Structure 1
Amino acid sequence: MTDPADLEDRSGRWVLHLDMDAFFAAAEQLTRPTLRERPVLVGGLGPRAVVAGASYQARVFGARSAMPMGQARRLCPHAVVVPPRGAVYRALSEDVMAVLADAAPVVEPVSLDEAFLEPPALAGASVAEVVGFATALRTAVLARTGLPGSVGAGSGKQVAKIASDLAKPDGLRVVGPAEERAVLAPLPVRSLWGVGPVAQAALGKVGVATIGELAAMDLREVTGLLGGAVGGELHRLARGIDERPVAPRGAAKQVSAETTFDADLTTMSAVHDAVARMAEAAHRRLVESGRAARTVSVKIRSADFTTASRSETAAVASTDLTTLTAVAQRLARGAVPEGGVRLIGVSLAGLSDAAPPTLFPALVEPVEPVAPQATAEQPHVAAERPWRAGDDVRHAAHGHGWVQGAGHGRVTVRFETRSTGPGRAVTLAADDPDLLRADPLDSLR
């Protein structure tokens, strides 16, 4: 006879969500072993640079992704700052997705470092069986990539995503049907997909702050507050009803970001700042997809809900944050209405599948090349840019390494890769003929 308790421990459907832990920073610590267990910030040092990734050792000081780099460095002054290396992250992401593809016939990537899967082998499985499957999955990802990832599992994509957040870092959380409501109920409503600042504020006005409080509301009241489609969907998610399929994602035609302000913006400087923030958010999604954009569009909604849009298309696709932001700000100046601005959105379209040469190129301070003096024996040519911290290099005698610092005609290199363990630092002449630029992917060896 089947134990009734065992039936409560089973779900007809199990969705898993894998989220790699502090992916960009962890990739740097993996390929540059000296950085393991040290606070690491990934990003540039320019005045408008933002943090692309922060290790958990840096997060304990309050640093986090998407934070201005200056603020993060003030919070964690002893952190090591390295520029992003998109080629390394994409290679590791491909390895992660290959492991997931072996575990399930359909994988839905969300970004470079997270994805959903719904393994047919888990249909009708018990919590214990799901724990065993997910444990093996995490082990396989670690063995293939050398990186930890957290896995959440539940009856749908929403619960699986929440479960993986609860599992971080480097953990596993399976939310069975018997405990689903108890897990969801105390969480803030912002934990649900589709609840942004505006929806949160609307719910807050009627005293609803948690998922459990939202689930307990009458459906008519929710749809009256948030609209029929959005309100109905959020009410279902709050009650653990999530029938959205796990499906491969087609290539997006555009990436965008927008926000509605609690108080209308009334100055152009405030509009420019808001446009810059939206451009940065859209830019992060652009580079995560490994593509570049030709078209920049700006949407401005006034206090009386009048919406104006402007767009501009360039001849060549770009991933340069400074360029894309400047275009968006110029378009915004022509769209700002009289009175206040209620909403601003920035979208990037005309996407090219050609991967950009670097990730977040505008987050690294540009260095102008220095041209040597021309002579009769040697024609005038532009010299390579100077060495900078984070550059991948190789040396005939020392092998592969990365630049820790440079200046005054000298360069200090830490010679190490993923497989070497912490390497030794060597200071060389900046013009050492045996010191050459290297492929970042060589650090994965």
Structure 2
Amino acid sequence: MSGVGGSVDAVLIHADADAFFASVEQRDFPHLRGRPMVVGPQVVACASYEARALGVHAGMPLRQAVRRWPELVVADFRGEVYEAVSAELLAMFRDVTPLVEPGSMEEAFLDVSALDGGSVEEAGRIAAGLRERARRELGLPVSAGVARAKLFAKLASRRAKPDGLVVVDAETEARVRPRLPVSDLWGVGPATTARLHDAGIVHVADLVGWSVDGLVERRVARAMARNLVAIRDGVDDATIRLPGPRKSISSTRSLGRATRQRSVVEEALRDNVVRAMERLGDDAREPTRLDVHLRYDDQHAVIQPGSLDEPTRDVPTLVGAALAALGRTAYEEDGRGVAMVGVSFTLPTRRP
């Protein structure tokens, strides 16, 4: 990753497509609009806002969700479609500025400091235009937050959901920053939160008087301690990190009904190999290793390494190596059904 920007004058937008998988399904299938629906297959990968209002959340076993809320509509997981829409969304972000740092397939930070005067007010107008364009051209609701650093931009987009825009100016940031609970800070997990609470640090204001070394003595990781002190002092991260060449390429496919039937599982794996290699496009790098991924109907996941004698893009060779790795999982004798099969290829870091 390469860093760009990060000055105190930075102005960032955090743009995040709402309930991404569910929104794509509701866009493509009008009968799903306004209804509580989820995207499967075995667990809830994404719930619409109508489903979230009932209490459905991602990661919930699908059978449990449907049993508790019989009105739920279940849509198939269409990974290829989501990846294509994600590419369109990120291309739209890059039409606004080349300084885009993706966070996931549906969200990114955009540095708009150099556009239209570089104020948060102007950035708010840029974000509003971006949201309108995403709705008009992609049919997707996108929430956005505008601020001078990543923390507040992300908090703002979270506050804006669903389908809204929140702009945090310098005055608001200065007022809100000391009152932020440390548990709400980006990257602060339950264990770190507990250690901070034990030290009497519940809000950012409670960090006054603490040094990095003092926090480390309380068993806070040094990198996190530096981040906390920077947040307290209002000089936290505003650096856009541009993605470098991808390190791997992959493809997965849900089988719908779990199965141990060899022809079905092997055919899905062959398709994944072909699709993964198609995604390389003009990238001339040759995979150096591969891994076969299985997920069983009880959600247990297996990663089986494959072997390549030498780097290659030859599809028959890659298919053969993937099938050999699949055989080593002994899935046919396992007793459980295979719900998902996939393959990933490791790529050399340097292009030829």
| TM-score, normalised relative to structure 2 | 0.67
User: Which residue of 2 is the match for residue 153 of structure 1?
Assistant: 146
Residue segments in structure 2 that go unaligned for 5+ positions in a row: 1-7, 250-271, 278-288, 316-336, 340-352
For residues 127 and 14 of structure 1, the distance between their equivalents in structure 2, rounded to whole angstroms, comes to 6
**Letter matched to residue 32 of structure 1:** F
Residue segments in structure 1 that go unaligned for 5+ positions in a row: 1-10, 256-286, 293-314, 332-349, 355-364, 368-445
**Preserved CA contact (<8 Å) 1:13 1:122:** no
RMSD of the alignment, in Å? 3.4
**Preserved CA contact (<8 Å) 1:95 1:144:** no
- Change beyond 3 A, Cα 1:141–1:13: same
**Letter matched to residue 103 of structure 1:** V
- Change beyond 3 A, Cα 1:326–1:94: closer
**Preserved CA contact (<8 Å) 2:13 2:146:** yes
Deviation at 1:248, TM superposition (A): 1.8
Deviation at 1:94, TM superposition (A): 1.3
- Change beyond 3 A, Cα 1:14–1:316: closer
Computing the radius of gyration from Cα coordinates, the structure with the larger value is: 1
- Corresponding position: 1:87 with 2:80: yes
In structure 2, the residue corresponding to 1:62 is in which secondary structure? Answer: coil
**Preserved CA contact (<8 Å) 1:12 1:124:** no
**Preserved CA contact (<8 Å) 1:14 1:118:** yes
Deviation at 1:247, TM superposition (A): 2.3
Deviation at 1:99, TM superposition (A): 1.1
Residue in structure 2 matching 1:117, options 110, 116, 119: 110
Residue in structure 2 matching 1:199, options 165, 168, 192: 192
**Letter matched to residue 176 of structure 1:** D
Residue in structure 1 matching 2:210, options 204, 218, 222: 218
Residue in structure 2 matching 1:247, options 241, 247, 253: 241
Residue in structure 2 matching 1:138, options 131, 137, 141: 131
**Preserved CA contact (<8 Å) 1:14 1:154:** yes
What's the CA shift string for 1:297-324, capped at 9, x where partnerless?
xxxxxxxxxxxxxxxxxx8533422399
Deviation at 1:124, TM superposition (A): 5.3
Give identity over the alignment, percent. Answer: 38
User: Which residue of 1 is the match for residue 228 of structure 2?
Assistant: 234
**Preserved CA contact (<8 Å) 2:127 2:144:** yes
**Letter matched to residue 76 of structure 2:** P
For residues 232 and 62 of structure 2, the distance between their equivalents in structure 1, rounded to whole angstroms, comes to 36
What's the CA shift string for 1:149-207, capped at 9, x where partnerless?
00111111121111110111101111111111333343332322221121011012123
User: Which residue of 2 is the match for residue 390 of structure 1?
Assistant: none
**Preserved CA contact (<8 Å) 1:62 1:72:** no
The higher-RCO structure (CA 8 Å, 6+ apart) is 2
In structure 2, the residue corresponding to 1:64 is in which secondary structure? Answer: coil
Residue in structure 2 matching 1:163, options 143, 152, 156: 156
**Preserved CA contact (<8 Å) 2:148 2:238:** no
**Letter matched to residue 199 of structure 1:** T
What's the CA shift string for 1:225-276, capped at 9, x where partnerless?
2143321122212443224421222356589xxxxxxxxxxxxxxxxxxxxx
**Preserved CA contact (<8 Å) 1:13 1:123:** no
**Letter matched to residue 80 of structure 1:** V
In structure 2, the residue corresponding to 1:179 is in which secondary structure? Answer: helix
In structure 1, the residue corresponding to 2:296 is in which secondary structure? Answer: helix
For residues 252 and 240 of structure 1, the distance between their equivalents in structure 2, rounded to whole angstroms, comes to 33
| TM-score, normalised relative to structure 1 | 0.54
Q: Where do 1:88-107 residues align within 5 Å?
A: 88-107=81-100
Residue in structure 1 matching 2:17, options 20, 24, 33: 20
Which structure is higher in helix share? 2
Deviation at 1:13, TM superposition (A): 1.5
Count, aligned residues: 268
Deviation at 1:146, TM superposition (A): 0.5
- Change beyond 3 A, Cα 1:232–1:254: farther
User: Which residue of 2 is the match for residue 301 of structure 1?
Assistant: none
Q: Where do 1:281-320 residues align within 5 Å?
A: 317-320=291-294
- Change beyond 3 A, Cα 1:211–1:55: farther
- Corresponding position: 1:58 with 2:54: no
Which is worse superposed, 63-72 or 12-21?
A: 63-72
